[in-house]
């Protein structure tokens, strides 16, 4: 997934190059000098942002047996309570934005969270095709990856306020593994799905150095063998140290829920990561 992120960043950097040039992309003639504008998220043609994210995690899952009779399911679990996975974690999140035209921009972001735990089970658990007995010492790992690609068009844009919407797609991947080494039991499950979203972005330049940005990506979908929803929201307050560097604090909430009746993963999964963050942002 990191290769996807790097390749996509190079692609959009190439596509956005004409918008950053000082000549007309068609005729090659020099462009008329543009009036000076206040550096802000509204005037930025590109930014790269890195955030340290302290989040509280909540995970509910159920992994059904692969060839179970109708009505037979796995055990519904709260991964933090029943499997001992940590409720708190500190992770990084990276984000890029390329402004292709004055009102069009593409944003990419990547998030990854990995947790492991060793825990003595308080009850028997059906996890896929394995049944782990009560009192077993179980090793569990859960890896979660999210890569988002969002295009927005600003239907309202001034020097101080920008509001836009468009379309986005998130690529989600979850890998879960449970094992009882003493009994030589192990079960691995994974799910990977693209998920379209509808975004809403807002940027407000409060003063010459201070700006607020907020966004929401959300969609709920239901198909014959799949149903679910995804909501990714973020808000931050940035201080412009110089024309190319900003520092900020914010809050991010990522939540997703889906159920599958067929495929390599059968069952249900709910994941949420919510918490404050500190960010550093390079832009021009």
CATH number, domain of 138, equals: 2.40.128.90
Instruction: Give how many domains the chain has, as a whole number.
Output: 1
**Per-residue pLDDT tens digits for 222-244:** 876 778 899 999 999 999 999 99
- Distance, in Å, from the CA atom of 107 to the CA atom of 170, rounded to the nearest integer, reads 12
**Per-residue pLDDT tens digits for 135-179:** 999 999 999 999 999 999 999 999 999 999 999 999 989 899 999
Mean pLDDT over 11-17 rounds to 45
Cβ(75)–Cβ(125) under 8 Å?
yes
The CB density around residue 225, as the number of other CB atoms within 10 Å, is: 10
- Distance, in Å, from the CA atom of 239 to the CA atom of 232, rounded to the nearest integer, reads 23
Mean pLDDT over 101-114 rounds to 93
Mean pLDDT over 251-264 rounds to 86
Mean pLDDT over 250-272 rounds to 88
The whole-number pLDDT of residue 261 equals: 80
Residue-range definition of the domain harbouring residue 84: 2-283
Most confident of 28-37, 98-107, 215-224: 98-107
Distance, C-alpha 114 to centroid of its chain: 14
Of 20-29, 74-83, 194-203, 247-256, where does mean pLDDT reach its minimum?
20-29
Residue reference for tokens 């080494």: 181
Cα 241 to Cα 208, 246, 270, 280, distances in angstroms = 11, 5, 39, 10
Is pLDDT at 59 greater than 50 in this prediction? yes
The whole-number pLDDT of residue 198 equals: 96
Cβ(79)–Cβ(272) under 8 Å?
no
How many residues does this entry show for the chain? 284
The whole-number pLDDT of residue 159 equals: 93
The pLDDT > 70 percentage for the chain reads 86
Question: Where do runs of H (alpha helix) occur along 47-185?
Answer: 79-82
Mean pLDDT over 117-143 rounds to 93
The whole-number pLDDT of residue 11 equals: 45
**Per-residue pLDDT tens digits for 65-86:** 988 777 788 999 999 999 999 9
Mean residue pLDDT across the chain: 87
Is pLDDT at 109 greater than 90 in this prediction? yes
């Amino acid at each position: 997934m990191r290769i996807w992120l790097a390749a996509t960043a190079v692609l959009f950097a190439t596509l956005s190059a004409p918008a950053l040039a000082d000549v007309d992309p068609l005729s090659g003639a020099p462009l008329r000098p543009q009036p000076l504008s206040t550096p802000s998220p509204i005037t930025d043609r590109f930014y790269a942002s890195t955030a340290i994210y302290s989040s509280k995690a909540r995970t509910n899952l159920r992994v059904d047996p692969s060839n179970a009779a109708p009505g037979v399911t796995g055990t519904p679990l709260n991964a933090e309570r029943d499997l001992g996975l940590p409720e708190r974690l500190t992770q990084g999140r990276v984000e890029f934005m390329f402004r292709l035209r004055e009102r069009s921009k593409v944003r990419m972001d990547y998030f990854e969270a990995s947790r492991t735990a060793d825990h003595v089970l308080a009850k028997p658990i059906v996890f896929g095709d394995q049944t782990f007995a009560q009192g077993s010492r179980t090793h569990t790992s859960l890896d979660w990856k999210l890569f988002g690609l969002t295009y927005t068009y600003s239907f309202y844009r001034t020097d101080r306020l920008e509001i836009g919407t468009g379309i986005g797609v998130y690529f989600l991947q979850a890998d879960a593994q449970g094992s009882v080494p003493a009994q030589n039991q192990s079960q691995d499950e994974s799910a990977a799905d693209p998920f379209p979203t509808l975004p809403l972005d807002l940027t407000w330049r409060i003063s010459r150095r201070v700006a607020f940005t907020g966004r929401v990506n959300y969609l709920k979908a239901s198909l014959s063998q799949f149903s679910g929803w995804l909501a990714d929201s973020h808000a931050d307050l940035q201080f412009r140290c110089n024309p190319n560097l900003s520092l900020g604090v914010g809050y991010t909430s990522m939540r997703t829920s889906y159920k599958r009746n067929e495929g390599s993963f059968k069952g249900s999964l709910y994941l949420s990561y919510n918490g404050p963050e500190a960010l550093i942002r390079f832009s021009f």
